[in-house]
Every structure is written in C-alpha cells, then in structure tokens.
Homo-oligomer: A and B are copies of this chain.
Amino acid sequence: MTETVVSSASKEVRIGFDRPFVIIGERINPTGRKILAEEMKNGDYSRVESDAIAQVEAGAHMLDVNAGIPLADEPAILARAIELVQSVTDVPISIDSSIVAALESGLAVYQGKALVNSVTGEEERLESVLPLVKKHGAAVVAISNDETGISENPDVRFEVAKKIVERAADHGIPREDVVVDPLVMPIGAINAAGKQVMHIVRRLRDELQVNTTCGASNVSFGLPNRNGINAAFLTMAISSGLTSAITSPLHAETMQAVLGADVMMGHDPDCRHWIAKYREPSADREPRGRRRRRRRGSNGR
C-alpha cells in the first residue's frame, strides 16, 4: 500500500489508497484573481491568511500556495505567503510554482515535509526540480506531460508518469513521494476525457502504484453548473483510485461529493464523518428555521 506522508511543523497528512480522500485547497492562487494578485504584489497578505483559514475550516487537509504574478518577485512573495499560511494554519502545504527559484525559496522557509508542485517529464525540469525535492526530503507532484506537450492518449500520459517515477528513483526519491497528476481535459471539448481519466488513474494505481492528484475543476471548463460536473468527476475518479485533488473546499457540492465518495469507498467508518457533517449544519450558515426544514426535507424519498 503506497502512502505519501507530508507534514507541517505539527501535523502529518497521509495520502493513500485505503484512506479518506485528501483535499488540497486551491484558493491561494493569484491566477485569475486580480485583487489578490495586486495585494500580494504590494505586500498585503491579509486575503492569503483569511483564504487559508476559511479553506481549512471548510475541510481542506492541505493548502496549495501559488504566487505566480507577472513581473513580481515570485520567490520572495511565495516564501512570505508560505510563512504566513504556516503561522495561521497547521496543515501541510503544496508549494506551487513553475519557477524553480520560487520552489527553492519556498522550501527554504517551509517547516515540515512539503509537497512540491510540480515537476513535468521535460528533461530540464526533471534535472532541476528533482534534486531540490531530494535535498529537502519533500514529496513532489509529477505532471504527465513532456517536451512533446500533453498527449490526448492517456496511455502516453501514463508512460510519461512512469518515466518521472523512474527518474525520481534515480535521484533517491521513492515512488511513495511522487504524486502523479494525470492531467484532466475539459469534457466539454473532449467527450472521452472522463473515461480517459478513469483509465489512467486506475493504471497509475494498479500498475505504477502511485498516489494521484489533479486540478479537478478543469474538467468542467466552459460548461454550465460546473460544480455539478466537478462533483460527478471527483466521485468517479475516487472510485477509480484518485487519492487527492487540488480543488475548492468552499464549494458545498465538492465537499459533499468527496465525503460521499469516502462513505461509498468504505473510508468513513460507521459514516461518522458524514453524520457529523450533515446531522448538525453549523449554525452560522443559515438560520435555525431553515435548518430544520432542510433536514426534514433531506430524506431520500
């Protein structure tokens, strides 16, 4: 049984086939969030902190932290954001950058065993990121594309993942510290994307025996009711063997899909987590009268 262990200074999280699904909060990412980008660039990290706290309260087991802001000092901003997130929450962090120097400065300040997000199958990336991962004793997200781009054929993507796992081993990084992202295509554009992902996730689990993660919301790009598609995707991917995802715990439908999948997979003994979450909705979300009505109406038939 493959288990990926990551940690903060005080808390350990295990990603594994026989464990509850791990949600990596996606919100701390200035891509497409103009206000957040501007604030981070100007040294205002108040939203980073509140987003960190809100995601953990909503159920995130880990947090992804990205500081990709054009023309900004990404290594410095990423390191500062990580320090602040670690000061207000205790969950492990996925250090997210496409710039090696930023990964390096993030790792330098990080307390615990981080998840480095990410390395691809491109030669130059492999040889710059993997030594860094090894040096810091971190785990790493392996994205299954290489110099030839992203193949539409999931079996080609599987081969790229295999290459990264083998190269990591050459660098002394065990397969349990490589978490593969099989790359999820928008299903509105590629109708077979769903079955492709199930196929590759199952192969990654059964043949390569690695944990997996993905940016779950890509699948619904361009479609209405994205949360509905994301929920269907996560549920099916979990049944195929997906063990974590970078997604938003702030969407109730996403959380429900993940917790429901944990129940169905037998990863929520006696449904304790499910019952705790849905028997007593927290009082600050809606007034008492509505709560009662909803609970009564939530019977199966």
Taking beta carbons and an 8 Å cutoff, which residues of A are in contact with B?
A: 26-27, 187-188, 191-192, 194-195, 198, 217, 220-221, 223-233, 235-236, 238-240, 248, 256-257, 259-261, 263-266, 268-271, 274-275, 278-279, 295, 298-301
Contacts and interface: CB of A to CB of B under 8 A. Distances in A.
A187 B236 contact: no
Given A187-B263, A188-B271, A264-B194, A300 B227 contact: yes
Consensus secondary structure, chain A interface? helix
Contact of A248 (B194, B256, B301): B301
B224 A279 contact: yes
**The 3 residue pairs across chains A and B that have the minimum distance between CB atoms:** A232-B260, A226-B300, A194-B264
B229 A231 contact: no
A233 B198 CA distance: 17
B260 A228 contact: yes
A229 B194 contact: no
Given A225-B256, A235-B232, A194 B300 contact: no
A298 B263 CA distance: 25
Number of copies: 2
B278 A261 contact: no
A278 B188 CA distance: 14
Contact of A260 (B198, B229, B270): B229
Nearest to A196: B266
Contacts of A279: 224
Contact of A224 (B191, B232, B248, B295): B295
22 contacts: A187-B263, A191-B269, A192-B266, A194-B266, A195-B265, A198-B239, A217-B300, A220-B300, A223-B271, A224-B279, A224-B295, A225-B274, A225-B278, A228-B256, A228-B260, A229-B263, A229-B274, A230-B300, A235-B236, A236-B236, A236-B261, A239-B239
Given A228-B298, A229-B264, A236-B261, 9 more contacts: A187-B263, A187-B271, A224-B279, A224-B298, A226-B298, A228-B278, A229-B263, A233-B260, A236-B236
Contacts of A228: 256, 259-260, 278, 298
A194 B229 CA distance: 21
A299 B194 contact: no
For A229, A239, A260, the residue with the greatest tally of chain B CB atoms inside 10 Å of its CB is A260
Given A239-B236, A260-B231, A301-B217, A224 B275 contact: yes
